[in-house]
Amino acid sequence: AAAAAGLGIFLFYLSSVSWGQMLLTKDRVMFYLEQPLSVQKAKEVDEKSQEEKQMDSGQEDGTETMPEFCIWGQKDKVEITNANLYRSAQADAVLMCGNPELLFEDCRLPGRKDTQGCLLDEKTAWELFGSSEVTGKEISYEGKSYIIRQVLSSKERIFAFQVGSPRGNGDFEGSRPENETIGGEQNSTDNVLNRITMQKPEEKSLQDLQSLWGNKYGISATILDLQLLQGIGGFFVLLIPLTSCVYFLWYLFCLYRQQSQLVWKAAV
């Protein structure tokens, strides 16, 4: 019984955390791309969007501008190294093209044009440096050097950077044609950028935003309905305490039936 109660509390905690995180994203919408974007295409879309915003600044010509967005993808358990201390660690690499604040709260670094910056979580920082005060220090990933711009207070192991960061030999990701291969294989980064997180203006529906991607950039994006996930998460948050209440009421009913005297029945 104690083990079951402990498991119930643990599941309730996980459900509450997940539900709370989804509620924090209520002003954002996520899209999934069945056909991942190449680095070159993602950079072109981002640059075109920024140019449109600058041209539209102070003008009202009826042209729809794209809300803030971040095209991104994830590689699980990549190896990051600290060459100076001969240490290595594993973390999930988040490859971004756009506004990092949409993925990480209150985090505006590295900027769109920051070709060397990266983000790192505290646990990975400790594993690589023995400290979480590592802003400005250098790490390596796949032969490329990155400078840590900010350390994240994350429960997950995160290593995030803007695509287009410099390679060790001075070349740039995304500077090659899309079909060119490296060592006989296509750049694996091009198969990663398959999600878009964007800010949702109150006056626009999810369908409007989905159409905007298709009309402006010819990108087919599938909506991930976070509101549905919030509803499911809320149900599971309520399921644990409701189950506990039913169990407790049943326990009281059993006690009630065991009492022979009316006063004790009333007490139960």
What confidence score (pLDDT) does residue 146 get? Answer: 92
Closest by alpha carbon to 145, among 121, 115, 174?
A: 115
Report whether pLDDT(23) > 60.
no
Q: How far apart are CA 46 and CA 64, in angstroms?
A: 15
pLDDT, the chain, mean = 76
Q: How far apart are CA 174 and CA 59, in angstroms?
A: 33
% of the chain beyond a pLDDT of 70: 72
Report whether pLDDT(100) > 80.
yes
Report whether pLDDT(92) > 80.
yes
Q: Which of 49-58, 194-203, 236-245 has the highest mean pLDDT?
A: 194-203
Closest by alpha carbon to 87, among 122, 130, 53?
A: 130
The residue that leads in pLDDT, 262 or 169, is: 262
Q: How far apart are CA 260 and CA 44, in angstroms?
A: 80
What confidence score (pLDDT) does residue 149 get? Answer: 92
Q: Which two tokens stand for residue 126?
A: 């400790």
Q: What is the dihedral of CA 108, 112, 118, 120, to 10 degrees?
A: 40
Report whether pLDDT(152) > 50.
yes
Report whether pLDDT(252) > 70.
yes
The terminus-to-terminus CA distance of the chain in angstroms comes to 21
List, in sequence order, every residue forming a beta bridge with 90; answer none if it has no partner. 79
What confidence score (pLDDT) does residue 161 get? Answer: 92
Give Rg (Cα) of the chain: 25
**pLDDT tens digits, 180-233:** 443 333 455 557 888 888 888 777 777 778 787 878 878 887 876 555 555 665
Q: How far apart are CA 145 and CA 1, in angstroms?
A: 53
What confidence score (pLDDT) does residue 167 get? Answer: 42
Report whether pLDDT(153) > 50.
yes
Report whether pLDDT(112) > 50.
yes
Confidence bin at 236 (pLDDT 50/70/90): low
Task: Give me the mean pLDDT over the 65-82 stretch.
Answer: 87
Q: Which two tokens stand for residue 157?
A: 């192991």
User: What are the CB-based long-range contacts (under 8 Å, 24+) for 249-256?
Assistant: none
The residue that leads in pLDDT, 17 or 106, is: 106
Task: Give me the mean pLDDT over the 33-46 stretch.
Answer: 85
